[in-house]
Amino acid sequence: RLLALAVMGLGALGWFLTLGRPMLFLLCKIMEITVRCLRVLLLPWKKTVDFLRKIAKKGFHFCRKRFTITLSQVKPVIKSGRVTVDGGPVKDPAAKVDPKTQKICLDGQVLGGWERLVVMMNKPEGYVTATEDARDATVMELLPPELRGKDLKPVGRLDKATEGLLLFTNDGDLLHSLISPKKQVPKVYYARHEGTATQEDVEIFRQGLTLRDGTVCLPADLEPLGPGESRITVCEGKYHQVRRMMASRGMTVNYLERRQEAELVLGDLPRGQVRVLTEEEVQALLHK
């Protein structure tokens, strides 16, 4: 019996060396393709939906590098026409989409659920501009319950003692655009201060002054409104910038309020209250 088994083994080995290797290679390829197909077919529904939600948020083009699930795993889902953009099927997995302006669905179910949100607050004194703080109350605590959990972040900052217009958004690109000095987004402040601004002060602000610690400020507008009152327009947001600029000219600020950012005006929004910007207002910010 052992001899028979040995002969059979030698025969099988000879068969493998002659014809078996190509067939085994082909069999392995078939198994590999089968496994890949099964991974897609057996992909949990929740995982597929989660991935496609990420597609809705980021766009098809960037998913390959950003998520653990691979783009090839959802290609059959996309190519089958089950994913629609603005009501029409999109079968190209490499297609680029804009979730901010386009409706993306899987089997008729809206994916992502994300939309750009921009909120204006009339910040009161006594709150720090931060998402959290161990010592002080933050501006996030002033947001109404329905706006919490929306991933809103303050656009720039107002110091604890400063009041007025403060924007929040969940759009990172818009946030960075509004706070970047390169974009030259004007921010208008009303200040009550010691002393009275002179024409010399106006010229120094217009040229761009240097603070006592060596900080160089971009050119700004200083408009005297009367004894102890001024309107200041800056296009950047350095630490306590307006207060420090005024102090460098001997005008200590006692009260400061931001009243305008870009084309947005604080208006009659009550102190401590918020409102969601209209689409027209958001578009005006986007095109600054």
d(CA 148, CA 285): 22
Concatenated DSSP letters for 93-118? TT----TTT--EEETTEE-------E
- Nearest partner of 222 among 241, 240, 243, 198, judged by Cα: 198
d(CA 5, CA 257): 95
Cβ neighbours of residue 283 under 8 Å, at least 6 residues apart? none
d(CA 267, CA 161): 20
- Active-site choice (151, 159, 213, 221): 159
CA-based R_g, the chain, Å: 31
- Asked if residue 178 lies in contact with residue 261, where contact means CB atoms within 8 angstroms, the answer is yes
- Asked if residue 167 lies in contact with residue 152, where contact means CB atoms within 8 angstroms, the answer is no
Verify whether residue 159 is a known catalytic residue: yes
Q: What are phi and psi of 178, to 5 degrees?
A: -75, -30
Catalytic residues: 159
